[in-house]
Structures are given as structure tokens and as C-alpha cells.
């Protein structure tokens, strides 16, 4: 009976966290659409977010549906199966669609009826650091793929195997999650404001991170091997890193810059008069 209860609780946590994380993709593009501008949001975030969630979708699909990857994972983890549920795959696919839509508001503002942001505005141009990180991610996956393809004796237990490519792709998502929030934290700090950055996406993301960790822990408990949590670093990392940065944004929004519309020197010069007045009140 206890096992059935825990199994049901895990399933419940999984679908609720999927709903919270999935819903968190809507507040920002809706806020941009309502304001008819992407000012206040650093373009690095939506750009690198697309790459991260494409990598997450690929790795989740491989871990859940590829017989080769699942068998190699079991060979390395005492016969255990990957802890990737259907809700993880659905979440990742939905995330790719929404992040692409959000990015289009930055890259093609005219189709949304937005004014094109001035390149002088804070966060309006992709940073050199973010561009280099994206290039390094492709190089990293490429090198691992080359090592696997040129391995003389592919063996998941003692050498390179196909699962290493998927693991590398999964790590791209983890790496991106660690750094993707940093440009926006700095943008808020420079503007002395979170104006334009939706706090609702952060609150939903925070709730999703807590429940994601809870589900992972319950699943590992049911398998009788807590070490399996460590063997799923992407899901574990996603939850903890998201929570860490969510707390920073919550502090910025509700305490450090509460009610601030931003410094006049940081206001996007292409905003209309009414919007500019709102920002500097």
C-alpha cells in the first residue's frame, strides 16, 4: 500500500511540476506582447534557452525511447532504467516550441508589431560570452561524437559508447541552465529594476524546481538506489540551479528593486513617451 501511495505521489509531482514549468514559458512572451517591446529582457536568455531545450528534448527522447541507449544505461547502472518519464518528454517538446516563439519576438519584432530595439539598449545584443558558449557546446558534443565513432571497441561498461553522445547532449542543457540566467541578473542589476522581466515565470519555475527534485527523490527511493539520483545530473541540476536563480530574481523583484521602473539612462530609447515616463516615475 505504501509503495502504491509513493508511486502515485511521484506521478502527481511529475505532472504538477510539468504544468508549472510549462506554464512558466507563457508570462514573458505575453508580457512582451502586451508592452509591444522586449525591453528589460536580455536577448542572451531566449537565445541560449532554445539551444538548451533542444538538447534536453533530444536526450529525454533517447533515454526513454532508444533501446540502444536504455540498454547501455542499464549496463552502466546495475540494470537500472533511466529515470525519464513521459512528462519529461512532453515538457521538453513544449519548451522548444515556446522558447522559439519567444526568441522570434527578439529576432523578428516587426512580425509581432514591436518597435525594433536600439542596439544601445541594455541586453539588446547577443553577448560575446554567450555566443562563444554556444560554439563551445557544439564543439564539445562534436568531440565526444568523434571519440565514439572512432572507438575500436565500443563498450558501455569500460569504454566509449553511443550513450556518451547522449550524455554530452544532456550536459549541454545542464551547462546552459547554469549560465543562462546570469545575463538577466546583470541586466536587472544595471537597470536597478526588473521591469520587463516577468516575475510570474520565476514563481512558476521555482515551484516546478521543488517538485522536480521531489519526484526524482521518490523515484530513486522506489528503485531502492538513491545513487540513481546522481546518475541523472540533468534533471537534478535543472531543479537545483533553477531554484538558486529563482531566489535571486525573487529577491531582486520584491526587495532590492521593488517598484523601480529603472534608471533613465538604461531605458530603451525607442520606447514611446508614455512608456518612458512609466519607467522613470
Radius of gyration of the chain (CA): 21
- Output the pLDDT for position 216: 77
pLDDT tens profile 86-102 = 878 988 999 999 999 99
pLDDT lower than 50: segments of the chain: 1-2, 264-277, 279-281
The domain locations on the chain are 2-280
Cell of 247: 531566489
- Output the pLDDT for position 1: 45
- Output the pLDDT for position 254: 96
Q: Are 122 and 191 in contact (CB under 8 A)?
A: yes
Sequence-separated (6 or more) residues with CB below 8 Å from residue 44: 123, 126, 127, 130, 180, 183, 184
d(CA 31, CA 194): 13
CB-side exposure of 173: number of CA atoms within 13 Å?
A: 24
Nearest CA among 114, 135, 133 for reference residue 124: 114
Concatenating the DSSP letter of every residue in 186-245 gives: HHHHHHTS-TTS-HHHHHHHHHHHHHHHHHHHHHHHHHT-THHHHT-HHHHHHHHHHHHH
pLDDT tens profile 207-229 = 988 888 888 778 777 766 666 56
Q: Are 238 and 18 in contact (CB under 8 A)?
A: no
d(CA 255, CA 191): 15
- Output the pLDDT for position 84: 86
d(CA 187, CA 122): 7
Sequence-separated (6 or more) residues with CB below 8 Å from residue 79: none
Q: Are 43 and 126 in contact (CB under 8 A)?
A: yes
Look up the pTM and report it: 0.82
pLDDT tens profile 268-278 = 444 444 444 45
- Output the pLDDT for position 271: 44
| Packing angle of the helix pair 67-76, 44-65 (nearest 10 deg) | 80
Q: What is the largest CA-CA distance in the chain?
A: 67
d(CA 224, CA 3): 11
Amino acid at each position: 500500500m505504501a509503495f502504491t501511495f509513493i508511486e502515485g505521489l511521484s506521478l502527481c509531482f511529475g505532472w504538477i511540476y510539468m504544468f508549472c514549468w510549462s506554464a512558466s514559458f507563457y508570462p514573458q512572451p505575453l508580457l512582451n506582447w502586451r508592452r509591444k517591446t522586449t525591453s528589460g529582457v536580455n536577448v542572451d536568455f531566449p537565445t541560449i534557452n532554445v539551444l538548451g531545450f533542444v538538447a534536453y528534448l533530444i536526450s529525454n527522447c533517447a533515454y526513454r525511447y532508444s533501446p540502444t541507449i536504455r540498454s547501455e544505461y542499464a549496463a552502466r547502472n546495475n540494470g537500472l532504467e533511466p529515470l525519464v518519464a513521459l512528462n519529461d518528454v512532453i515538457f521538453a517538446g513544449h519548451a522548444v516550441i515556446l522558447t522559439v516563439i519567444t526568441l522570434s519576438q527578439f529576432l523578428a519584432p516587426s512580425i509581432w508589431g514591436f518597435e525594433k530595439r536600439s542596439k544601445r539598449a541594455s541586453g539588446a545584443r547577443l553577448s560575446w560570452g554567450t555566443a562563444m558558449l554556444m560554439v563551445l557546446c557544439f564543439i564539445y558534443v562534436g568531440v565526444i561524437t568523434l571519440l565514439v565513432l572512432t572507438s575500436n571497441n565500443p563498450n558501455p561498461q569500460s569504454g566509449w559508447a553511443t550513450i556518451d553522445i547522449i550524455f554530452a547532449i544532456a550536459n549541454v542543457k545542464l551547462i546552459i541552465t547554469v549560465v543562462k540566467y546570469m545575463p538577466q541578473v546583470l541586466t536587472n542589476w544595471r537597470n536597478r529594476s526588473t521591469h520587463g522581466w516577468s516575475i510570474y515565470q520565476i514563481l512558476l519555475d521555482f515551484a516546478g524546481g521543488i517538485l522536480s527534485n521531489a519526484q526524482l527523490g521518490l523515484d530513486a527511493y522506489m528503485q531502492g538506489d538513491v545513487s540513481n539520483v546522481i546518475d541523472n545530473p540533468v534533471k537534478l541540476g535543472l531543479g537545483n540551479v533553477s531554484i538558486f536563480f529563482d531566489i535571486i530574481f525573487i529577491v531582486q523583484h520584491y526587495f532590492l528593486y521593488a517598484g523601480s521602473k529603472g534608471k533613465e539612462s538604461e531605458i530603451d530609447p525607442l520606447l514611446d513617451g508614455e512608456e518612458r515616463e512609466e519607467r522613470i516615475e
